[in-house]
Structure 1
């Protein structure tokens, strides 16, 4: 099959797909939807309420469940957010099972929920699921319900593909891409920057400790995903040199990252890709990070240096050398390795193959 495709893009029901993004997954889905639309495909995005109105969005949750008093009093009753998300995907997948083959040429699941994966065999259209995280029990369970190759898997990095290989023997690696025009090259400056969701697995407190040891000011930016963690581990480290600047829109964040001498990236989990790395490189800002997950796939010695995981002291020792790396080499690495165009073209090619 050739020509424009009708694509259902399944996104997060928890966070809207709009700026400022809740995280890398939301930023990725927004970029992919826009890039596919620019290529002439008809993209319908199934996403949380409040998503970007410039996209063709069908809001999730489609319907909220109306639960009886008896059901709500059951000891196994989960919280309302869990139930709403579960019901949203259940309704969506039942709708796609009924008429997805008539409405779409391909369904691309970018959610982290188990139902779009578990119910994929019922959809009369090819289904692609992108593996955005290391293995989780919910997704592993969903995969094990499949008796045939009813889902085509992609992974955002070689590291992620390898982690899933015991259950997913073959997944195509299509790395996340960014629009380098939206992350322009900056001139750098005297401060360091850390950006991302402020949660324990991203380790911003370790970035603050490393910056302090190196004697460098640090700007922290991103949504506070775990208020207790922020209050206990991050807020006590803030002062005139280590500052939290808030959850910034993309343009303001790009300006902040481009004005930094280096970006600190401090994953405490096996980072499946690391969109903040690509964003920093696009801004010409070299990266100093922990050698965890896929960071080593993105960075070269010309644009970034890596320390052992969890070692803020070792990270601090690499900061000065990182700030001396060539900013043009960082920008070129982003253009060659982290291209949104390359990502969108590869997904479009896969869709065409499956639709045929």
Structure 2
């Protein structure tokens, strides 16, 4: 198949640090290319992929602004329509969905974020698009979509070598934000009497939260802020951690960092909400507590010295490898493009 994938103009592909949507686009584009499909990725000019790529912005537009995304998507779709060579277009933001009416091929949209009224109204106006939720919980919180399925994320296991031993500290990685529970992760580690290493950054809208809730806890000792880390440093941090703390305060649609930790053999400790009941195999790849029960997570953290990290890594590879994810998208694409594609002609 000839597939056009539109990423964002905000972060390069693959991301050098934070960037869930962009990591997904990388894994999907690389996986599809390896299976023999002709993929064109519309991303930033500094993106590094083996497939064909095109860009409007040579470097990421940060902080994210709606006008940059509209420019990026509008340009990408105009290029796709002009070339008139693709079998399918795959978009990754609600803003991109209305633009799909300007191309003559089927469209797939992966929902990367929590439901909101503005996005839901767009989806309702475009029932012809095939929508992919990244968890059953995410789909249940969205409006009813006539054409939808669930495909969990996956990443390349080779980049997350499993470790059968840990270095005794806890970890918390990602965006420093109230909904991510960064302050709670620090409290849980202190209650467990364990060191914690956090890595990530606060987005502009979360800066006050960081100053008021995170920075004072870091000054109390027992914790270190490593800042944003690249993939090698992230993998090393996860491999050495006794557990990854994810005390989420919202209905997280998925949580890529959780499966990255599991692939390293590191269990995930979190609350039973969002996608976590789907992606965490209780007792095998992690442990979940009732929402808000931080004391339970602290107690669990102290009892992981004999956790079977090898079994955790095996289970994560069975469920969350990029090969599993790409295979499911490939099957979806074949369904969406229909019999005309199987007969060797472009969908029109």
Q: TM-score, normalised by structure 1?
A: 0.86
Query: Does 1:307 pair with 2:289?
Result: yes
Counterpart for residue 330 of structure 1: 312
Q: CA deviation at 1:139?
A: 1.5
User: 2: CA distance between counterparts of 1:300 and 1:18?
Assistant: 28
Counterpart for residue 219 of structure 1: 197
Query: Does 1:175 pair with 2:158?
Result: no
Q: Deviations over 1:58-106 (max 9, x none)?
A: 22449xxxxxxxxxxxxxxxx993322222223333443x336x22111
Q: CA deviation at 1:315?
A: 2.1
Contact 2:202-2:210 at 8 Å conserved across structures: yes
Q: CA deviation at 1:307?
A: 1.7
**Out of 13, 17, 22, which is 2:18 matched to?**
22
Q: CA deviation at 1:9?
A: 0.6
**Out of 237, 245, 251, which is 2:232 matched to?**
251
Query: Does 1:109 pair with 2:91?
Result: yes
Q: Deviations over 1:282-326 (max 9, x none)?
A: 000111111120111111222211122234333212212345431
Counterpart for residue 35 of structure 2: 39
Counterpart for residue 47 of structure 2: 51
Q: Deviations over 1:228-283 (max 9, x none)?
A: 32222211111442111121111111111011111111222111111111111100
- Runs of 4+ aligned structure 1 residues displaced above 6 Å come to none
Label 1:59 to 1:343 Cα distance change in 2 as closer, same or farther (>3 A). Answer: same
Contact 1:305-1:322 at 8 Å conserved across structures: no
Contact 2:254-2:275 at 8 Å conserved across structures: yes
Counterpart for residue 7 of structure 1: 3
Provide structure 2 residue ranges, at least 5 long, that are not aligned to the other structure: 342-348
Q: Deviations over 1:319-351 (max 9, x none)?
A: 123454311221111011112101111112222
Q: TM-score, normalised by structure 2?
A: 0.88
Q: How many residues align?
A: 329
Contact 2:3-2:40 at 8 Å conserved across structures: yes
Provide structure 1 residue ranges, at least 5 long, that are not aligned to the other structure: 63-78
Label 1:322 to 1:12 Cα distance change in 2 as closer, same or farther (>3 A). Answer: farther
User: 1: CA distance between counterparts of 2:210 and 2:325?
Assistant: 34
**Out of 147, 155, 159, which is 2:137 matched to?**
159
